[in-house]
Structures are given as C-alpha cells and as structure tokens.
Amino acid sequence: MVAGALTAACGDDGSSTDGEGGAGGRDTTTATTGSTTSTTSGPTTTATTSTMTTTSTMSTTNSSSSTGEGGMGTGGMGTGGMGQGGGGTGGGSGCIAITPTGFALDQANGSAARYLSIFTPNVDGVEDDLIGLELYGDTLDGGDPGTFDLTMNGDENYATCARCFRAFVDPEGANPRVFFQSAGTLEVASGLTPLDGSIDATVTGLTLIEVTIDPTTFVSTPVPGGDCFEIATADVQVGPPAGWTCNLANYGTNDGCDCGCGVVDPDCPDALAASCEYCVQGLSCANDGTVEGCEIPILDPNNSAVCTGVPSAWVCDPADYNSGLANDCNCGCGIVDPDCADDTTASCDLCNDTGSCAAGETDCSTIDPANNAECASGVPAGWNCNPLYYGDTDCDCGCGVLDIDCANATSAVCDFCNDSGSCASTCSDIDPANNAVCTPGPVGWTCDPDYYDSGFADDCDCGCGIPDPDCDNALPATCDYCESGGSCANNGTSTFGCNTALLLPNDNSVCQ
C-alpha cells in the first residue's frame, strides 16, 4: 500500500510551502472537484498546469483497498513545480490526436508520484482537459528506469498498473470522462528519482481508450463505442537533469541561485560564480562544511555548477587535492581528497604530507579510521568545529568545548566565533563566561538562539517552542526554516526543511 499524506517542505533557502496530501487507496472516479495552480519553471520557459485538489478523476475518496496499490492523496503539491515537461505529437487511426502542453509534478511521496499536463485540443471546449502519469512503487516497480510495454505486466489495467496514463475530459464537470492506456511504450531514463518528483521519460505510440473505473476494485473497463486518444510521442521531463547533486527542491524553483551542484540552476541569472547565492553544505562542491555559504574562489568563474579550485579547509599541498593521479589519496588534510575511493583509512595512500595532521608519521595509524580527513587523537569529545581548529594557536569559540588556544574561558579572548559547527554567527552570541557555548535564547526556544528574532527578511523559524518575531504571522504558511534537532516540524530530509503539516494550524511555533 502507498501510505497516507503527501506532505511538503520549506526549502532550505526560501522555498514556498506546498499543499497537504491525502491518505491511502488508488484513485476513484466519482466526486466533485476543485483546482489550484501549479507553476513549473524551466530554464527558458514557464508552463502552467491545473493541479487537482479533489478531482473526479485524479483523486477523490482515496480510501485504502485490498486491491488498490495506494492513491496519490487529496492535496496538491502547491506552487513551484520541479521542471518543464516536453510536448508531444499525435497520430490518427480513428482516435483523436492530442498533445500535452507540458508536464509538472502534482504529488510525490517516495512510494508514488503523479505528473499532470493540460492537453490540446480541448475535446469538449468547456474546461481544460488533463492527462496524467501515475507511478506506483512499494510492491510495484513504477520507480524503475527502463523501457516498458504499457500493455503488459499489470500495466494493462488501472487496478494493477505500476505506470498508469489516464486522460480526463472536463475533469471538474458533472460528467467527467476517463481514458486509460491500451497501447504504448514508456522509456524512463536512469539517474533521477521518479517517485520523489524527478523524471525524464518518453512515451511513444500511446493510445488511451474511454473507460470506467470501479470505485472499489479500481478495475478499468472499456466503454463500448467510447472515444479514444492517441499520442505519437511525448516527453515527461520534470525536475533537475542528471548530474544535479543538491536538493531536488532547489532546482529551478525560484528560491535563489544554488551553485556547485553539478548543473547550473535555472534560478541563476547566468552561469557566473559571482551570481551565486547558496551552496548547500555537503551537497555543493563549494561548501565542505567549514565555511558559511559559498566558497566563491573555488567555483569555476564562468561555470557556477562546478569547482576548479581547492577548498579553504584543505591544509596540504594544493596540487595534491583531486590530482586525478592513481594511488594519490592524501589523508589528514582537513577534508577528504576526491582522489580517495571513500573516507576510510583503507583508501589512504599518503598521510604524512606537509600540513597533514599526521605529518612526520611513518604510517597512517593516527588517521581516524572512519574519516581520513583528520586524525583520531587530540580533539576532545564534544568539539563541534573543524578538528584542525582545535589547538591551532587561534582561540575558536562556540565549538562545544573550550579551545586550548584560548587564554581563558571568557568571550573577550575569542579570535573566531563563526566557524562551521559553532553555535554562533558573531562573537556577541557567545556566553561571556563560557566561550565554548552560546548565550541561551528565550525561555521555551528550542532552536539555535541565533535564529530567534534575527531581523533578517524571510527568516521565519518554526516549531521552535515559542513564536519567532521574524515571522509575519503565526500561520504555518509563513515558515521559512525548521531546524533539524531544534524544530518539531523538521521534515527529516534536510537541515532546515519543514513539514508544515505537523504544526498547529494557528500557531507555527508548536506541533500538533
């Protein structure tokens, strides 16, 4: 069964709040409808697709069934679709040739997904007609790449299909008409995650015949003498292309220019590194976790998708970083060398380079077995900043443990307070009497104290126990961030992503 609610997330750098999903069951075919608008931004065009909220054809009662494989829910995915879908051309053999105007993500939850497009011509001339591709995972293989005959292996009926094309004429009318695939081949490219909202697929020779769908068994039955549609070929292209290494929700969603992600973000005005706004820690090549934001100097000046320089955290010979040479995995150098097969000591070739924490050693025995960027000894438990900063002659503060470089424990002796891993953004956040920690936030605040009433625009932190003055109001829709480990509404997939469905409808500071 594909389970319950499809919930949305706040972007780590300012994405909007999406709609709430529904629960259980493959979709039925009789109910009233509503609609929202889902806008999909691609690199050069913008496609607008009507997204069903309670449709007669896409999602209605959504009740679980022993024969259903799980429905797509009753909530749309909100604004900010994940990419632009390709169009298509139709053929003719008694069927009406139709053309999708561009697919956009409607819903996805990791176990199932639905992509929607308006199609032309408008058959009855009343309201927009829709075509949708639904994919089902779990016990089915709807998320797999490959080439699939849509008349075989269960895909020939809506009750059993893993890849399901349905078309809808007047979906919001009193008597909507439903069409289901009777011929066609779907080719799904590898490298993306179709069940999570990212797909690159092409359907060819698609025929859809008019059907009824049993609301209990979901069995599709041809309508005698019913109409049919044909599409010679059409693309379903939604989400970032293969090679994108950052969060799916940050590609082309009007949330700012993300860089170092393998592919230029359409949100960027150009491909220049100077235009970069965000580099997601651990995903962007321009943020190794030792700096805040982007390390602009290591980005290719003319291609903000890739890095060409050496990260500032690398403390060994710059020529040894990502040299591309065989047997040239350098360890103990502050960050993992891309020349290493993995981050364990088993990959190390050299550990005693000048600058390495193991310099002067005859072997790699002092390197941390699970993190070959640093040595295992010398840094106390609880130190949250870069291990190389402990005992390096500079007094680093807010790192969880007093740095031995500090003359005393007061904030007056701090040299650096905003290292990656520090609780502070500035030294004013440091506890005056204990420079290892920050001054606590207000009573009841569970997130980073620095995030409370920061004064920045678009900096509304939610699920933190008490309201953030940075929020325009107390509604979940205003949320910008839900800090992992501090907020009760973190989505569990990103450091600052929000699952706003967990919050009280009229109080975004606490969860239900």
How far apart, in whole angstroms, are the C-alpha atoms of residue 55 and residue 61?
9
Predicted local distance difference test score (pLDDT) of residue 290: 61
Residues lower than pLDDT 70 in the chain: 1-93, 289-292, 377-378, 380-381
pLDDT at position 283, please? 82
Q: Within a 10 A sphere around the Cβ of 224, how many other Cβ atoms?
A: 6
- In terms of residues, how long is the chain? 512
Per-residue pLDDT, 224: 96
- Give how far the C-alpha of residue 10 lies from the chain's centroid of Cα atoms, to the nearest Å: 10
Q: Where are the domains of the chain?
A: 35-238, 440-512
CB 156, CB 200: distance < 8 Å: no
Give the per-residue pLDDT at 354: 83
Structure tokens at 315: 């403390």
**Rounded CA separation 66/20 (Å):** 24
Torsion, Cα 55 61 63 68, to 10 degrees, reads -40
Per-residue tokens: 120: 């032309």
Helix (H, G, I), strand (E, B) or coil at 388: helix
User: What are the pLDDT digits (tens) for 427-480?
Assistant: 988 989 899 988 877 888 888 887 888 888 899 999 999 999 999 999 999 999
- pLDDT score, position 63: 30
Contact (Cβ atoms closer than 8 angstroms) between residue 129 and residue 171: yes
d(CA 274, CA 257): 10
- What pLDDT was estimated at residue 162? 98
